Structure 1
Amino acid sequence: MKYSIIVPVYNRPDEVRELLDSLTRQTVKDFEVLIIEDGSTERCDNIVDLYRSQLSLQYFFKPNAGPGPARNFGYSQAAGEYLIVFDSDCIIPPGYLEAVDKALATYGWDAWGGPDQAHATFTPVQRAMGYTMASVWTTGGIRGGKKRVGWFQPRSFNMGISRKVYAQTQGFHFDRYAEDIEFSIRMKNAGYKVGLIPEAYVYHKRRTSFSQFYNQVSNFGKGRALVGRAHPGEVKITHWLPTIFVLGTLSIPLWALISSVLFYGALGGWLLYLSVIFLHALWQNKDLKVAFLAVPAALIQLSGYGLGFLREWMKPYIRK
């Protein structure tokens, strides 16, 4: 068995159906799928049973402990030479494993990740959130593109490792919140070859509403602060930018008390930035509604991440 695909699930049976359906169309067939039900009250075992004749499937139910331990449990049960984790809200294109095959043969990666893209069935809100998560104008970066700066950190919605990587690292150390970033740092420190495979993309739904999106990105910010606590030096000035943006936005009214010129200058810069978000989203998506929705999505992403990061970063100082 070359590939083991591991999917942690928590109360998302409908997403599992779409994910498994997409895996039946893979052009490469040498893989198994392990569904790890992480203490769900809405189980998906009946959905899994529908696909047993089309896929090599294993289903496990375990007490809830978070996505990190659920993936590690899947690693321990897997038979594949390479271990792949997807989030349950992903749809996998037919050529995913074929792209991985080619990249492994060419580059010999020990671990890899791929970007995400918007599927034609995604709502405008989901597409707007997907844009902000991938955009260089927010906290995105390589998630939706081929270019990157510095070394690559695979994300757990689309991550693969070799069995030898798992044997040495024992997988994820964090239960949740930036568990993939922490894992990537340890892979880098161990000297493994970790790469981006642009053609090995997935369609990642993310959340379905802005309120859910805020909670998600707030946890991302919290996770980055936790990573900094576990690995001193891994929090850079770029990770502070969302917090700086939030504090700068909140300070705009105060500038009016000092100088009208400073106030209008700050307000003009803020509006210019949002205009750039709108125009860039319009250029990328060719959809006016998605472009308009990208503006609040960007504000939610920056504020959620920035405040989540700041709250977690300040906790040790508040305790002291």
Structure 2
Amino acid sequence: MFFSLIVPTLGRVAELRALLDSLTRQSLTTFEVIIVDQNGDDRLVPVINDFMNRLNITHLRSTVRQCNHARNIGAGRAVGDIVTFPDDDCVYTDNVLQTVSRLFADAGRPDFITGSVLTLEGRPGKSGRWHPVETAINSHNVWTCLIEFNFFIRRTAFNAAGGFDEGVGPGTDFGSAEGQDLALRLLEGGFSGRYLPTLHIMHPDKPLALTTARAYSYGVGMGHVMRKNHVGMTTMATFLLRSVMGSLVYLLRGDIPRARYYLLTFLGRIRGYLSLRAGAVTPAPATG
């Protein structure tokens, strides 16, 4: 099984080097790395040159600074059976690709596989509330079973779904949930997904100040994607209640920054769901 790892990158150099270094230690070596460089200079050239003899790297340029646009560009050049989209500040544990290859070949043969997060120090990540057990993915649990950098998809399914929606995600008004949007469209198209909490990719936790600054935009993205994909009101209500309760709990504890984070998340989810633009964005077709 051959993998295409598509890495949109902007502004990070040392982090990309760490990712590429981790890829040189993969126990499965049948993969390509497609770097979609959104920088306006050559800062990545020395890093890429350092790994050219150790990894199968394609270096693409994009003048558009938008993550899903870069992902779709990379997917259009991919030749792998499986496409995946590591962040430029991820680190792969040594057996990630070998594990995923085996999972795709196991009984059930899912069309996409997701996993969870460890910090760079090897602790469980704080990026969301994770589903505790292995499960088939559906429209209710996809919100706790998926993060974009640990999302492996058969390329035929990715293309059939139309790739990532370039109107959603970082760099747009709807700042998150682009992975859930793609997964929901895959499910709607008859494809199946599997989540394994023990399938880890390492990623740094973001500081609370940064996550709070993004909370409203991320909430807007989630609400928008829920409405766009006609997610049931029970699911929407569940996640609204979680953000409200989170805000109240931290307010009572006197933790104002975290209370503010959950309040902004709640307001964003409401705004995204009620947006007149919700449902108006169509996925950009992937090629290749």
TM-score between the two structures when normalised by the length of structure 1: 0.72
- Report the counterpart of residue 85 of structure 2 in structure 1: 85
Between stretches 184-193 and 223-232, larger displacement belongs to 223-232
- Report the counterpart of residue 192 of structure 1 in structure 2: 191
Larger Rg: 1
- The residue matched to 1:306 in structure 2 has which SS? helix
Structure 1: which 5+ runs fail to align? 122-126, 135-139, 251-266, 275-294
Residue by residue over 1:187-245, the C-alpha shift from the partner in whole angstroms, topping out at 9 and shown as x without a partner, is: 111111211133431011142x3221213333321111211331233552112124533
Task: Classify 1:28/1:297 alpha carbon distance in 2 versus 1 (closer, same or farther; 3 Å).
Answer: farther
1:166 aligns with 2:175: no
Q: Alpha-carbon deviation of 1:63? A: 1.4
Q: Is the 8 A contact 1:4 1:80 kept in 2?
A: yes
Task: Classify 1:219/1:45 alpha carbon distance in 2 versus 1 (closer, same or farther; 3 Å).
Answer: farther
- Report the counterpart of residue 204 of structure 2 in structure 1: 205
Q: Alpha-carbon deviation of 1:12? A: 1.2
RMSD: 2.9
Question: Could you tell me which of 247, 260, 265 is aligned with 1:305?
Answer: 265
Query: What amino acid sits opposite 1:226 in the alignment?
Result: H
- Report the counterpart of residue 130 of structure 2 in structure 1: 141
- Report the counterpart of residue 222 of structure 2 in structure 1: 224
- Give the % identical residues: 23
**Stretches (4+) displaced over 6 A:** none
TM-score between the two structures when normalised by the length of structure 2: 0.80
Query: What amino acid sits opposite 1:163 in the alignment?
Result: R
Question: Could you tell me which of 212, 215, 218 is aligned with 2:213?
Answer: 215
- Report the counterpart of residue 104 of structure 1 in structure 2: 104
Query: What amino acid sits opposite 2:272 in the alignment?
Result: E
- Report the counterpart of residue 94 of structure 2 in structure 1: 94
Query: What amino acid sits opposite 2:216 in the alignment?
Result: S
Task: Classify 1:309/1:179 alpha carbon distance in 2 versus 1 (closer, same or farther; 3 Å).
Answer: same
What does 1:223-262 align with in structure 2 at a 5 Å threshold? 223-234=221-232, 236-245=236-245
Number of paired residues? 262
Question: Could you tell me which of 136, 145, 148 is aligned with 1:156?
Answer: 148
Q: Is the 8 A contact 2:136 2:192 kept in 1?
A: no
Q: Is the 8 A contact 2:135 2:196 kept in 1?
A: no
- The residue matched to 1:157 in structure 2 has which SS? helix
Task: Classify 1:146/1:89 alpha carbon distance in 2 versus 1 (closer, same or farther; 3 Å).
Answer: farther
- Report the counterpart of residue 289 of structure 1 in structure 2: none
Residue by residue over 1:56-96, the C-alpha shift from the partner in whole angstroms, topping out at 9 and shown as x without a partner, is: 11111101241111111111001111111111121100010
Q: Is the 8 A contact 1:11 1:40 kept in 2?
A: no
Give the whole-Å Cα distance in 1 for the aligned partners of 2:231 and 2:5. 33
Give the whole-Å Cα distance in 2 for the aligned partners of 1:182 and 1:148. 19
Give the whole-Å Cα distance in 2 for the aligned partners of 1:95 and 1:146. 20
